[in-house]
Each structure stands twice: as C-alpha cells, then as structure tokens.
Structure 1
Amino acid sequence: MVNYSDSIVALVPALVAIVLAIVTRKVVISLGVGILIGALLLHSFNPLDTAVYLGKNIFSLFWADGALNEWNVLLLVFLLLLGVLSTLIQTSGGAHAFGEWATTHVKTARGARLAAFGLGILIFIDDYFNSLAVGNVSRPLTDRRGVSRAKLAYIIDSTAAPVCVISPLSSWGAFIISIIAGILTTHSITDYSAFSAFMMIVPLNFYAIFALLLTLYIAYTGIAVGPMRTHELRALQGELFDSNKGTPMGMAEEVKEHDGGKVRDLVVPIIVLVIATVTALLWTGAQALAADDRPFTLIGAFEATDVTRSLVSGVVISLIVAFLMLIGRKIPARDYRISIWAGLKSMWPAVVILLFAWTIIAVIGDMKTGDYLASFVSKSIPASYLPFLLFLIASVMAFSTGTSWGTFGIMLPIGADLIMAVDPSLLLPTLAAVLAGSVFGDHCSPISDTTILSSTGAGSHHIDHVTTQLPYALIGAAVSAVGYLILGVTGSSVFGFLGALVAFVIFLVMLNVLSRRGEVPSQLRSE
C-alpha cells in the first residue's frame, strides 16, 4: 500500500466523505464513496488490488483471525433485537396504558411537563422509540393540562438523544462503544476498554448533560422565550398548535397498538432489560477477572466485561419477558410478524451506517490521515483548541446532514487520529466533544429523523418544533463551547466542567430576565 503520511492526499477520503455527506445528505453513500476512493488511492488505482483490499476489510468485519468477529456480529444482533423489543412494547399497548394511568395521577401543567421529562429519561434504550413512545404517552396528558405541542416536542427531543448518547445500554451506547473499540485497537491503547472509555466520556459530554438540565429546568418552571412563548400563550387559550397551518403531520401506524395494555407492559420489559444487562456485564466481567486470577472489584468487572454478549443477553431476556406477558392477550400472529419485521427494519439503517463506519475507520487508518493532520495542525493550530474546534465541526456536519450517527462514524476516528498524534492526554475529551457537537447539530437540524419523529410524536408542526427548540439548543451549545475551550486550554476536565456550569447559570439568569417581560411569566408558570 502507498504511504500518504506526509502527503495532503491523506485527507482525500475523509474530506470526500464529509463534503458529500453535507452536500447530498446521504451518509451511507458518502461513506461508501470515501471508502472506495481511499482504497483506490492506497493501491494506485489498481482495480484488482482495490477489490481484494475491500473484500478483506468487509470480510474481517464478520470473521477475523480465523474466528467469528463476535464483537461486531453480536453488536449487530443487539441492535436488531432492540428494534424488535421497541415495536413489541408498542404492540402490547403498554405506552397507551401508561398515558391513561398518568392522566389520573398528574393534575397540573408542571406535573405533565415533568412526567414527559421523566418518561424521556426512563426510555433510554433508543432515541426513535423514545421519541415515539414519549409522544404517544404524554400527549393526552399535556393536552389536558394546557401544555403546547411545541413545548412537548422540545421535551421529547431534548430527552431522546441526550439520554441515549450517555447510556451504555442504549443503541447509541452500543454504536459509540463499537467505534471507540476500533479506535483503541488502531492506536494500540490497552490502558482501558472501550466500555470504560465510554463511561469516562459521559461526564465530559457537556451538551448532553446541560441540555438535560436545561430541559428539566424548563419543564419545572414553565419558562418560555422566543417563538416558544407564542405557542405557550396560544395553548393557554386552548389552541395547542397553530391551527392556521392545518393539522400537524401524523404517523402512518405500521404497528398496531392493541387494547388491554397495562402499564407493566411498558415498564417491566425496560426494567428487565436494565437489570439483565447489568447482571450480565458483572457476570462476564467477574468470569474474566477469575480467569486472570484477579480479585473481583466493581470497576474491574466493568472494565473486563464482555459488552456485546451482555447486551445481547439482556435484550433476549427482556424480549422473552415481553412475549410471556402477552400470552393470553389474543393478539393475532400476523400482528406479531408485522411488529417483529417493523422492529428489524427500524434498526437496519443503523446497521448499515455501522458497517460503513467500521470500514472507513480502517481506510482512514491505512491512509495515515491522523499522522498527516497532526503534523499540519501541530504547526498551525495548538492542540489545546482541538476539542473546541472539533465540537464546532461536528455540530456543522450533523446539522447539515441531519444525522448524529453518521457524524459519529466520520468524525470520531478523524478526531482520534488527530489528537493522538499531538496530545494523547486529550483523547477522551476530544471524543466527548465530537459526540456533543454531533448531538447538538442533530438537534437543530430540520432534516434530522429524530427531530421529525419528535414533531410527529408530539403532534406539532415540524417547522414550529425546529424554531421553538433552537434558542434552547443554542444555550446548550454555547455552554458546551465554553467548557471545551477551557478544558483544552487548562488541560483539566474539572475546570472545563466548572466553566460550563458557570456559563449555564448565567444563561439561566438571562432566561429568567427575558421571561419576566410583560404578563407572560405568571401565566406560563401557573400550574
């Protein structure tokens, strides 16, 4: 293979993938073109050598070192089964039952907002499921308590991705951990596992943390500024959405929700998923420690655990429980087949993106993209500014493409290659900055599937949701940017977090000042 470590050509595959993703908004195609161009460059445009190289890379995704690549295969199985679990819970009618239960127990607008927020935290396994389930469950409750559809869409959207991106038991967590595993292997990092790295990144994901805190504050206080104020005032008059724009878009219900659902149909499978997965994580970790004659410790078990086996074990047990709970419900076999197929289809885009992301990681590594960028950046851009800059770049890319996962697949390996060559101590903060920027950009993007699903689940006009959420998302982004800038300059994660926290408090004060203008506050804060 040709060595491009000292040539600008090393940037070509990554740049092509990024530019195409922004221009075409087709992440998979863009990744594929980047992979193909990289492979051709590595083999001097020899079609036979290129084909062999790509074949080996694709084959190694499933079979490596003479054995099944269990990590990759089991992760794909987990994602597919998670999709089935999501649609099965929907079929059971558990979400609807929870909504009915909540209506009898929640008497105020504040309670309705907090219930939606709490449910958004609870359903952390997948952002799609979160957006749809929280919307369907909360909408009857918030409608009765005079909360605008735009406010509900904001709560849904701001507790979907931010929760999933910091949960190792979610589809997002599994996706990110798998990319981190490839990064650690590429750079021969053995000090910690991919799972441990993910857990260490969580407190550094400033956008996810402060977006959740801001959402909780807004849900509790009822503060509304900017376009959201108009929608909240209209809701107090009984108009939950802008009727001048017609009826908000609805979903074509592919999965039928059956009558007779109980609250436990929603709660029990999720609780089982958590308990079973955590138990499996500890069990496999304990086995690995025992095999190495090491004493059992909680941290040691999580570091040595077999993540993908544990995830698959957890979701299988949860699925079994969910099916057993439906025995005797007289649900037609056809509806089960539709539900299972819909669940598999819902995860297929994630599977495809993940396969392409794994492949481009290998190509970027072989192109020595990080080595070239490091030599260039070390002469022109201080390493201390990289977390901040990569946060901005990931934000722009996710906004332009409408996908955080696609941005993860492209920017995480690039950011890792870059920072490892100039300042390895900033690897985890840099990865956190990429994750944070990706979620922020996705939040603001009108073409984001999660944003669209949040609008649909809440029953809000889509563009109304985009415009009303933007001021709040920008606050989270500004807070995060301050944090990453301070973190990079000081080299301290603690100082970075404290800087972000101070900025967050300042913005809350500003929100309160803005919300007190006119007669709006007393009305919006009423319970």
Structure 2
Amino acid sequence: MEGTKETSKNDFKRLLIVYGIIFAAFILIGFLVPDNPDDFGILTTIPAIFMIIFIFRTKRIVEGLTLATILCCIMVHKGGFIPAFADIAQVAMLREDTAFLIIVCGLMGSLVALIEKNGGGFAFGEFVASRVKSPKLALFGTMLCSALFSLDDYLSSLTSGIAMTPVNDRYKIPREMTAYVIDTTAAPVSVLNPISTWAVFIGSLMVANGIAEEGQQLPTYMATVPFNFYAVFALLIMILTVLGVIPKIGPMKGAYERVAAGGPLAPPDSEKIDIRSGKDSIVPENPKLRNFFAPILILIGAVAFFDFDMQKGIITAIFICFIYFVAQGMDPEEFADTVVEGLKNMVLPILLMILAFCFAEASQQVGFIDYVIDVAVRNITLPFLPVTVFLVFAATEFIMGINWGMYIIAIPIVAPITLALGGNIAVTVGAVAAAGVWGSHCCFYSDATILTSSSTGCNNFRHGITQIPYGVMAGIISAIGYIILGHVIY
C-alpha cells in the first residue's frame, strides 16, 4: 500500500513538472510571437504541430485538444488567454453544429440504449451469427450493414457498430478491425450515395456558391462523384484487407497479435467511450428481432420524411419508439430512464467533438487556415489544381476536425479559383469532397472516428492509429490519381 502511494505521489510530481514545462513554453511562445496574428506567418502552425506530437506521444486526445486551444489563446491574447478560452468555449457551444451533434448524437445513444434494453441487439446478433460462419464473412457482413445505412454516416457508424460488434467478437476479431471496416464504409459510401445527407449538403453548398442551379444540385453533385478518388480507393483497400490480399500492417497487426496471444478484443481504456459502457448486450426472456429493425426503420423513414434532416428524424423516431416499446409492455418510467442512460453514454464522444470545435475556432483566430491556403494556392497551375486542393484540405480537416465545416470554408475558395483558371468545377469539388472524407477518416477526434469508436467500443486513439496506414495508402494513390487526371484533362 505504501509503495502504491509513493508511486502515485511520484507520478503526480512528474505530471506537475511536465505540465509546468509545457505552460512555460507556451508563455515563452506567446511572448515571442508578434502582437498581430496577421504577422504570424508559419508560426500559425505551432499549435497544430504541438497537438499532433502531444497526442501521438501521450495518446491523450482530450488534453491535446485543450492544450492546443490554450496555446492559440496565449499566442493571440497573451495574458488574457483565460477569458479568451472561455469566449471560445462559448462560441463553440453556441454553434449550430454543436446543437446538432448534442441532439443527434445524444438521442442516437438513447435509441441504441432502447434497442439494447429490449433485446434487439442480442436478437440481431443471434440472427447474423447463425448465418455467418467465418471471420471474413463477419467482416463482409459488417461492411454490408454499414453500406445499407449509408443514408447518413452517423446512422451508418452507430447502427452497424451496435449490430455487428457482438457478432465480430464471437470470431475474435479485434475491435480495431471492426471499427476500421465500419468507418471505411460509412463516410465513403455516404459521399458516393446520391440519396444521402452528404449529397444534399454539398449539393446545397454548390447552389449557394453559384456553381449549381436551384433544383439541379443533385445532378450537379453526382457529376463530382467520379472524381472522389479517395472514397473509391479507401473502400477497395478495405475490401482487399478483409480478403487478406493486403496484409495487416502496423498497429493493426499488433491488435491481431494481442488477441491471438489471449488478450482482450478491445484495446485499453475502450470502456470510457463505449456506447454500451463496456456492458454486454441485455438478454430479455424473449428477444425479438423486430426490436432491432423497427427502431432503425422508423429512424430512416423519419429522416427521409424530413428531407434528410437527422435532427428532426431522430427526435421523431424517439417519440414513435415510445409508443412502440410501451405498447410491448415497457414502463414509461423505464423508457425515460433508458433514454437518459443512452444520453449519458454519449457524453465523452460529444465532449471530444466540442473540444475539436474549440480548437478549430482558436486555430482560425491565429490564422492557420488562411496561412495554409495562401501558401498552397500561391502560383498554382491548372494541372496541379486537383491534387493541391485534395492535399491542402485533407490536411486541414485532419488537423482541425471541423467536419462539414471544411466544405463551407473550401468550396467558396476553390470555386472562383477553378473558374478563373478555366478548370472543371466537378473535378475540383470532387477533390474537395475526397479531402473531407480523408481528413474525417484519419483524424483522431473527427465525428466519424469518435462515433465509430463509441459504437464498437474501441478506444478512439487506437482506432485512429490502426486506420491511418490504410488511409494514407488510399490517400497517396488518390493524390497520384489527381496528378495524372490534372495533366490529362488540362
């Protein structure tokens, strides 16, 4: 006991020293940088570089995002960084995106809890397990499940995660692999799907920026789909990995070795982000398969009814599920308790996304995006426009994790540049869409990574780090494709 206390005391002292050094370095940076953020130049990249190094070294994403945001505040506001941090937090909380994710992600957690409480998850697992006879078939079933729900990547990630993770667990498939297959299917298939929230959103941005006519956003968007190289190559590489044509590499290989040695299916600290809070599926006396499919179909129908509005769709689905489950004998108080329990299970994923919004807001104050774009587009030539757009905005999304906010920033920038150079707008927007998918796919704290980690019960750092080698592989192939395309068509 004394030894444990002494170890804890030493760890605390070491932690104080480390954080003391970090804050001393922050203060020094704040003192040395110019007073005007417009004069920062390359110094705008310091917070992003610090955050990436910190997360890779410590595997602590919450602290990495928080410290990087504080560093931005110190650089811009000097001694007034604490009020500035509070203001940024308030701005992030008041964003429309934040309200959306709290409502949608929180209530998706509630829907999952209701499905689990009423035995839907267990019944679906039994149904699939009786038909799937090998690990490869289980992973292909996971991919198919994710693709079927590609109306929206949130819906795809959460639904396929809760449905297929227990099935894959039976075949001793590491949670990292389950998360990789789901994440690689969710956004790439959604962005290629003409009847998805991605198509609706990007198409509406094209109308707003004058590159698509009102009422023609869908056909105009579909013209960009053949040029979304990353979505296609990411799916292809994932399929080849499941088949064993591409071997397990890097951290993913380590995950398989851990399980083969008798270790746990989930990496350490996964229970913190697990939507089930690390609990097994509830097994009622008579689990019914309809208790899995009915809530999901209700949600899909509600989202489609409200013109692909996930927020209205999930609220409507919860109301209808109240009638559905109470009619089966579920007590209204038990229903309410389950909804609250599901909301509680989504607190960490929601917190991570809000912190990502805070860092994105702080990065804009130091001028990070403006600097990167200015450097990238300076002296750009038309043949290299597609690959430049892809690489710049992929890196921006990877670092900032601003989700669809990247498209709001990027399309108004690339559209006039493309038109001024006489380029093909479908190619450029296709490259922007691909960049968003790559950044979201590989970023440790993007909504896609966090929600997939939550639904599969996999630590989000481990999910991100095992997925990156395959994402980088697809990204490099895509970049080469854009270079070739640019020189062929221009």
Q: TM-score range by the shorter chain?
A: 0.5 to 0.7
The answer to whether the Cα contact below 8 Å between 1:143 and 1:240 also exists between their aligned partners in 2 is: no
Displacement of 1:204 in angstroms is: 2.5
Measured in 1, the distance between the counterparts of 2:100 and 2:452 equals 26
Q: Give the partner amino acid of 1:194.
A: Q
The answer to whether the Cα contact below 8 Å between 1:85 and 1:343 also exists between their aligned partners in 2 is: no
Measured in 1, the distance between the counterparts of 2:288 and 2:451 equals 24
Measured in 1, the distance between the counterparts of 2:301 and 2:172 equals 36
Q: Deviations over 1:121-145 (max 9, x none)?
A: 2333544454444333333322221
Measured in 2, the distance between the counterparts of 1:154 and 1:455 equals 9
Q: Select the residue among 189, 196, 199 that pairs with 1:163.
A: 189
Measured in 1, the distance between the counterparts of 2:45 and 2:415 equals 19
The answer to whether the Cα contact below 8 Å between 2:396 and 2:439 also exists between their aligned partners in 1 is: yes
Measured in 1, the distance between the counterparts of 2:162 and 2:313 equals 26
Match of 2:413 in 1: 414
Measured in 2, the distance between the counterparts of 1:343 and 1:206 equals 35
- CA 1:160–1:277 in structure 2 vs 1: closer, same or farther (change >3 Å)? closer
The answer to whether the Cα contact below 8 Å between 2:273 and 2:459 also exists between their aligned partners in 1 is: no
Displacement of 1:393 in angstroms is: 0.4
Is 2:231 the counterpart of 1:208?
A: yes
Is 2:151 the counterpart of 1:152?
A: no
Residues matched between the structures, number: 403
Aligned pairs (5 A) from 1:402-441: 402-423=401-422, 426-441=424-439
State the SS of the aligned residue for 1:380: coil
Q: Deviations over 1:18-69 (max 9, x none)?
A: 969947868xx99xx9xxxxxxxxxxxxxxxxxxxxxxxxxxxxxxxxxxxx
Match of 2:481 in 1: 483
Match of 2:31 in 1: none
Match of 2:384 in 1: 385
Aligned pairs (5 A) from 1:17-36: 22=48
Is 2:357 the counterpart of 1:335?
A: no
The answer to whether the Cα contact below 8 Å between 1:22 and 1:397 also exists between their aligned partners in 2 is: no
Is 2:97 the counterpart of 1:98?
A: no
Measured in 1, the distance between the counterparts of 2:356 and 2:316 equals 27
The answer to whether the Cα contact below 8 Å between 1:273 and 1:315 also exists between their aligned partners in 2 is: yes
Match of 2:255 in 1: 231
Deviates more, 1:228-237 or 1:478-487: 228-237
Deviates more, 1:147-156 or 1:133-142: 133-142
- CA 1:272–1:143 in structure 2 vs 1: closer, same or farther (change >3 Å)? closer
Match of 2:324 in 1: 325
Q: Deviations over 1:248-298 (max 9, x none)?
A: 4433658998654643333334445556766x69xxxxxxxxxxxxxxxxx
What CA RMSD, in Å, does the superposition of the two structures yield over aligned residues? 5.0
Question: Structure 2 length as normaliser, TM-score?
Answer: 0.64
Measured in 2, the distance between the counterparts of 1:395 and 1:326 equals 43
Identity %: 27
Q: Deviations over 1:327-355 (max 9, x none)?
A: 3333524326527967998889999999x
Match of 2:441 in 1: 443
Match of 1:5 in 2: none
Is 2:165 the counterpart of 1:135?
A: no
Displacement of 1:206 in angstroms is: 1.6
Measured in 2, the distance between the counterparts of 1:398 and 1:188 equals 23
Q: Deviations over 1:370-423 (max 9, x none)?
A: xx98xx96x932223211101000111122123433322322322223223323
- CA 1:149–1:489 in structure 2 vs 1: closer, same or farther (change >3 Å)? same
Measured in 2, the distance between the counterparts of 1:97 and 1:420 equals 54
Measured in 1, the distance between the counterparts of 2:152 and 2:479 equals 26
Measured in 1, the distance between the counterparts of 2:109 and 2:124 equals 15
Measured in 2, the distance between the counterparts of 1:184 and 1:219 equals 39
Is 2:290 the counterpart of 1:264?
A: yes
State the SS of the aligned residue for 1:160: helix
Is 2:190 the counterpart of 1:190?
A: no
The answer to whether the Cα contact below 8 Å between 1:113 and 1:142 also exists between their aligned partners in 2 is: yes
Measured in 2, the distance between the counterparts of 1:21 and 1:422 equals 33
Match of 1:108 in 2: 134
Measured in 1, the distance between the counterparts of 2:283 and 2:257 equals 35
Measured in 2, the distance between the counterparts of 1:226 and 1:162 equals 21
The answer to whether the Cα contact below 8 Å between 2:135 and 2:173 also exists between their aligned partners in 1 is: yes
Measured in 1, the distance between the counterparts of 2:454 and 2:109 equals 17
Measured in 1, the distance between the counterparts of 2:103 and 2:342 equals 10
Match of 1:366 in 2: none
Question: Structure 1 length as normaliser, TM-score?
Answer: 0.60
- CA 1:418–1:339 in structure 2 vs 1: closer, same or farther (change >3 Å)? farther
Displacement of 1:78 in angstroms is: 11
Q: Give the partner amino acid of 1:158.
A: T
- CA 1:20–1:169 in structure 2 vs 1: closer, same or farther (change >3 Å)? farther
The answer to whether the Cα contact below 8 Å between 1:166 and 1:208 also exists between their aligned partners in 2 is: yes
Deviates more, 1:384-393 or 1:474-483: 474-483
Q: Deviations over 1:87-128 (max 9, x none)?
A: 324422233432232223222111221122222223335444
Q: Select the residue among 143, 146, 168 that pairs with 1:117.
A: 143
Match of 1:296 in 2: none
Measured in 2, the distance between the counterparts of 1:78 and 1:196 equals 28
The answer to whether the Cα contact below 8 Å between 1:96 and 1:136 also exists between their aligned partners in 2 is: no
Deviates more, 1:100-109 or 1:187-196: 187-196
Q: Give the partner amino acid of 2:231.
A: A
